[in-house]
């Protein structure tokens, strides 16, 4: 076999080897991408589920009827507060403080929802966003109820007069104080359960 034939065979072998290496590298890259995407989906799904459970518990804790005096110790007292005014302002302070961790978790789950919209299928990404909207609207509803209720109660005790629309005030009270089982709690629990079930496939 002459040198030209040997060189040609050598070139063919080198070309085949290069092609084989390129195919293996391509398949490896595809596998790596799938594993990376799968890992990212797992992490985001786990984060969303953890925050869903935390928010559900947080709403329950924020609406717990029992208030400890320790929750009011950070409030700055006004001069010449009457006992009745102090009682209202202490309770208002405690209820407002309970909203702070909820607000922080809402920011975190919103960030996770943006990632979910990119990673997951359109329907699931949309479901995550819809669940976050329920949490956010519930938070706004509870915040508004606390502000309106305690503003009115403060005015009552300060002025020594009874607010005319007591039915409205009672409705706000029921929204702020609950042991669960009402429409507010069910709305959050149902949204959490539905999303958890949809995400379970990614965290197994």
Give residue-wise pLDDT tens across range 12-30. Answer: 555 555 454 445 544 444 4
User: Would the pLDDT of 158 be above 50?
Assistant: yes
CATH code of 88's domain: 1.20.120
Answer with the residue of higher pLDDT: 143 or 3. 143
Is 128 part of any domain? yes
Is 35 part of any domain? no
Is 74 part of any domain? yes
Q: What is the pLDDT of residue 155?
A: 93
Instruction: Return the structure tokens found at 100.
Output: 């702070």
Is 181 part of any domain? yes
Q: Where are the alpha helices (DSSP H) in 120-182?
A: 122-159, 166-176
Longest dimension (CA), the chain: 115
Is 182 part of any domain? yes
Is 18 part of any domain? no
The answer to whether 31 and 39 have CB atoms below 8 angstroms apart is: no
Total count of domains within the chain: 1
Instruction: Return the structure tokens found at 62.
Output: 């924020």
Is 119 part of any domain? yes
Is 189 part of any domain? yes
Domain coverage including residue 167: 44-202
Entry pTM: 0.80
């Amino acid at each position: 076999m002459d040198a030209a034939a040997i060189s040609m065979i050598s070139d063919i072998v080198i070309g085949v080897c290069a092609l084989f290496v390129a195919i293996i590298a391509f398949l490896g890259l595809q596998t790596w991408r799938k594993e990376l995407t799968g890992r990212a989906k797992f992490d985001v799904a786990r984060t969303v589920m953890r925050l869903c459970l935390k928010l559900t518990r947080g709403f329950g804790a924020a609406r717990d009827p029992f208030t400890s005096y320790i929750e009011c110790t950070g409030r700055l007292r006004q001069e010449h507060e009457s006992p009745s005014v102090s009682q209202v302002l202490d309770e208002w302070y405690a209820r407002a403080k309970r909203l702070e961790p909820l607000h922080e978790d809402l920011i975190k789950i919103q960030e996770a929802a943006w990632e979910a919209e990119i990673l997951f299928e359109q329907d699931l990404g949309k479901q995550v966003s819809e669940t976050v909207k329920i949490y956010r609207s519930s938070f706004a509803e509870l915040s508004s109820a606390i502000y309106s209720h305690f503003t009115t109660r403060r005015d009552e005790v300060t002025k020594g007069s009874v607010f005319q629309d007591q039915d409205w005030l009672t409705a706000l009270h029921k929204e702020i104080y609950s042991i669960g089982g009402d429409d507010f709690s069910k709305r959050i629990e149902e949204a959490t359960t539905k999303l958890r079930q949809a995400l379970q496939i990614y965290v197994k």
